[in-house]
Structure 1
């Protein structure tokens, strides 16, 4: 416990204390009230922002999963230099600032950016497409930034599956598709669920990428909280928004915990 004390103190000072202060303001300033929470969950404009945040987070999670699973499978079946190159390709974005990666996407997606220039040069379009400041741009950029958080858990799960399982299934007459469906994918589910939860939760609180690449119509909850604090100076309502999203995240974590327990129970039955 003593070894963990510095971390616990740091977590309390930098996370729990500010969060508790913000939630206290949302409930007790100027007087004890739930009006800020009622406003957060009933006003149509704020409901749209929350639903948009959930929708974008869900789309990013699905897209990251579709991109990450095949890549993780190739990594799990690779060795030597090929594996080193793949791992470096996944980890390299984590060593680059999110702000730098976001500006890179802005260069690619802007009206006179690389993608529009390529499309016009190939004759596919006659005029530049509006790619920047759209929900599609936000989803693509967020998926790129969060992809490593999906790849690594799935790769770890696939790496732990013995090759004997696939060979045994094929010796018993299973096709490659049946082996994947009945053996490989079910055994990778712990990594899939961990990666999905991590990406979804990170996407819910994403700030830099949606703020720079998305327009006012793509505002997400983190941008809304920042707007309430920096422009409206309404700390109490900002705390209510944080409280609503915190309650949702805790509920999701509890559901995930129950699902993992159920998966272990079924696996041991």
Structure 2
């Protein structure tokens, strides 16, 4: 029986003993750098969140009464449905407006691109209150928007105090959160893939649909999920431009805590929104994985008609 030729590990193949303590020290230093952020996260996010969750089960008395009330009064479900609908409309309109804009940013010259990025970032440099009061002036009865609509035969359309006016303003406020993620993904797409598809006989529209669009899906999903989640918890814009008849979930939570002192019921509403947000993020994560697979397939079959 032949003897084994495997040689025992030598000292040269093993990592030097001096490197292991050095690696541990580097990891310890990294953990120390993260410690202040971790403490702040626990103090200002985790503990308040746990307090809200516990209060939703114990205030005013222990049990599931607050959650049963949410699904039995009918009003909360209508408000939640309205909030989801407004968030979905804001996301879709933002996508329709932001996708062409982000695409044009990838085609523009560096100077023009800098101007377009500046236009996108202007809302971040403007006060939230100033923007909402500007929209209040624009969509009020007899305002600019109503005058423009009357020119195309849509006279008498009321926007201020309605969910439509709230969605219009929220779209403008949240549009940068849609454009920037899409632009970040689009500028990394190799445009030679489009030329390769056209050189193999595919039309421009077919190449865009089968190659560019799948490759840009991760940006679309990232921007859409971000806008949708932000729109779910929007408060200032619905409070200023909406009305009690078109209230969103954040307004109801504010009324329950500030006016009714129903902290348990408000906490249950907050937990409900948190669960919806987590579901939306989980769905977007799954879609992002699917979009990546579709993009890889599109690159592999980019020349197919």
TM-score tier by shorter-chain length is over 0.9
Aligned residue in 1 for 2:111: 81
Aligned residue in 1 for 2:101: 71
Aligned residue in 2 for 1:163: 191
Aligned residue in 2 for 1:253: 281
Q: Give the TM-score, by structure 1 length.
A: 0.93
3-state SS in 2 of match to 1:4? helix
Q: CA deviation at 1:268?
A: 5.3
CA RMSD of aligned residues (A): 1.9
Listed as ranges, the matches of 1:31-110 within 5 Å are 31-110=61-140
Aligned residue in 2 for 1:114: 144
Q: CA deviation at 1:125?
A: 7.1
Indicate the larger mover: 43-52 or 96-105: 96-105
Q: Which runs of 5+ in 1 are unaligned?
A: none
Aligned residue in 1 for 2:247: 219
Q: CA deviation at 1:124?
A: 5.4
Specify which structure has the higher proportion of helix: 1
Aligned equivalents of 1:268, 1:213: Cα separation in 2? 44
Q: CA deviation at 1:92?
A: 1.0
Q: Which runs of 5+ in 2 are unaligned?
A: 1-30, 298-305
Aligned residue in 1 for 2:204: 176
2:58 maps to which of 28, 31, 41: 28
Q: CA deviation at 1:84?
A: 1.0
Aligned residue in 2 for 1:151: 179
Q: CA deviation at 1:32?
A: 2.2
Q: Higher relative CO (CA 8 A, sep ≥ 6), structure 1 or 2?
A: 1
Aligned residue in 2 for 1:11: 41
3-state SS in 1 of match to 2:71? helix
Aligned equivalents of 2:41, 2:137: Cα separation in 1? 37
3-state SS in 1 of match to 2:67? helix
| 8 Å CA contact retained: 2:214, 2:294 | no
- Distance change in 2, residues 1:125/1:248 (3 Å): closer
Q: CA deviation at 1:227?
A: 0.5
| 8 Å CA contact retained: 2:57, 2:64 | yes
Aligned equivalents of 1:29, 1:206: Cα separation in 2? 25
Q: CA deviation at 1:247?
A: 1.2
Aligned equivalents of 1:129, 1:31: Cα separation in 2? 47
| Deviation per residue, 1:195-251 (Å, 9 max, x gap) | 010000000000000111111121001111000000000000000001111111112
Aligned equivalents of 2:97, 2:49: Cα separation in 1? 34
Q: CA deviation at 1:9?
A: 2.1
Aligned residue in 1 for 2:13: none
Q: Give the TM-score, by structure 2 length.
A: 0.82
2:224 maps to which of 196, 199, 210: 196
Aligned equivalents of 1:119, 1:253: Cα separation in 2? 37
